[in-house]
Chain A
Amino acid sequence: MTMAVDALTGGFADAPVESARAFRAVMQALARPGRIETVTGAAPPAPMSVAAGVLLLVLADGTTPVHLAPSHDLPGLRDWLTFHCGCPLVAPEQAVFAVGTWPALQPITRFPVGTPEYPDRSTTLIVERPDLMLGTPALLTGPGIRGEAGLHLPDLAALSANHAQFPLGCDLFFTAGDRLAGLPRSTKVEAL
């Protein structure tokens, strides 16, 4: 079995400091839904975005099974994740993280939403988007938002259904290029 050479590159050059800075951006994005953060430091193989690569470098390791949706289940990407994160690649039902385009991740109801006693045991979805400014404009309200915020989302019905399960549900990051936005399950999503 051979591994593509580019699987060995594209990680953080200075992991402790770069992942610390990236985590702060990730945390701000999830704590303040609607805010778009820019991150740097990862260079994953196509079609994975820089932002999705950074998210996985910061959060995924051998203890976090990752599901690659068909859009991202490619040999080069499998090798890159295996080398840099060491994460097991699994089916949706076992995933702690899942990466893919919105259509490739469907139906998102396959992913664990946690249990009433342990709502933290749910999948975090990393949704790759062509542009964070494309999609249906949505009005966001809930924790982390002063008044209301806005974000362009792929599918309001599915995301509303996800929120309706609170405190269960998936948490989402939307990524495009080096930009990312967070949508925790606590956020109420409505059409603008």
Chain B
Amino acid sequence: MSETAYNFGYLDEQTKRMIRRAILKGLAVPGYQVPFASREMPMPYGWGTGGVQVTAACLTPEDRLKVIDQGADDTTNAVSIRSFFQRTAGVAVTGATRDATLIQTRHRIPEAALTEDQILVYQVPIPEPLRFIEPRETETRKMHSLQEYGLMHVKLYEDIARHGQIATSYAYPVAVEGRYVMDPSPIPKFDNPKLNDCPAIQLFGAGREQRIYALPPYSKVVSLDFDDHPFVASKADHACDLCGSGVSYLDEVIVDDQGGRMFVCSDTDYCGARVAAGQRGRLSPPEAA
């Protein structure tokens, strides 16, 4: 079957209306998880079906789409979702954060600052921040309605009691506008400060769990912490071995079986642009004569 046999953006219009209504309610109640009737998508759950449905409901033919998977534009998940929307929506795509109007992301926020003209769509596996503390949906829903978040602080406190510090390093819970506690999806806590006061609209889609939630631009997003154990946006204590950046989030790559390793930027667009601009890291090849 040819791609033109599909509706624009793959989903049918009634499904898009349902998702669009959920997005608007999500924006009106920042951080609250709006239930939606998630559809079967032509990719398995866990591969970003929630983000794909939100993106499909938001895309226009004029958009320029960027898809990243843990910061990279060229990994399987990013490549397949990008080509899915090229085929079903005919949109332009890009790897450059600056040029994108809509960015779908799995587990990272780009290093480059976002603008008012951009929308960031997160793929979310488990949208409920309280789920690993309280498995019953009826209970977590009641806890959100009563703003009863004491258990979340108990979990962070147990980290301190066992490890001497808050050991949660990704999917670090945040409070939105002083009301709802929200799971920011499994982004590293290094990215948490970028959630706050962001000029772009941020949308979160959880396909298997059938939830959509949102952060309007410039929302106040605070990472939970304690006065004597303040939140720290940590990263590996190295500079990138390819571009030399000391401020970007790094992936550790094992390079041999002798314990050799290197650290590289997780954001491939950021790293590539720096290398292209002549920045060098510890393991950069020598300059061509």
Contacts and interface: CB of A to CB of B under 8 A. Distances in A.
Interface of A: 15-17, 19-21, 23-24, 26-28, 30-32, 58-61, 63-64, 96, 115-120, 122, 124, 142-146, 166-167, 171, 184-186
A64 B21 contact: yes
A171 B27 CA distance: 10
15 contacts: A16-B7, A16-B16, A19-B17, A20-B16, A20-B61, A23-B20, A30-B28, A116-B145, A116-B146, A117-B141, A120-B35, A143-B216, A144-B219, A167-B32, A171-B24
Given A16-B13, A17-B8, A30-B27, A119 B219 contact: no
A119 B32 contact: yes
B180 interface: yes
B24 A124 contact: yes
B58 A117 contact: no
Given A16-B8, A59-B21, A186-B29, 10 more contacts: A16-B16, A24-B60, A26-B20, A61-B17, A63-B14, A118-B141, A120-B32, A142-B177, A143-B177, A167-B29
A27 B22 contact: no
Interface residues of B, number: 45
Given A143-B30, A146-B217, A167 B8 contact: no
A120 B217 contact: no
A186 B146 CA distance: 18
Contact of B28 (A24, A32, A116, A171): A171
B224 interface: no
Contacts, number: 116
Nearest to B30: A143
A59 B17 CA distance: 5
A150 to B, nearest CB: 16
Interface in B134-161: 141-142, 144-146
B23 interface: yes
A27 B13 contact: no
A31 B7 contact: no
Contacts of A17: 8, 60-61
A119 B27 contact: no
B28 A186 contact: yes
B176 to A, nearest CB: 8
B55 to A, nearest CB: 11
Contacts of A122: 25
Contact of A23 (B25, B35, B57): B57
A64 B17 CA distance: 10
Task: List 4 tightest A-B contacts by C-beta distance, closest first.
Answer: A144-B216, A116-B145, A184-B28, A16-B8
Contacts of A146: 199, 217-218
B13 A15 contact: yes
B20 A59 contact: yes
B9 interface: yes
Interface in B9-52: 9, 13-14, 16-18, 20-30, 32, 34-35
A184 B220 CA distance: 16
B201 interface: yes
A19 B29 contact: no
Given A31-B217, A143-B219, A19 B23 contact: no
B59 interface: yes
B217 A26 contact: no
Contact of B24 (A26, A61, A143, A167): A26
Nearest to B8: A16
Contact of B14 (A23, A61, A142, A185): A61
Contact of B58 (A24, A63, A96): A24
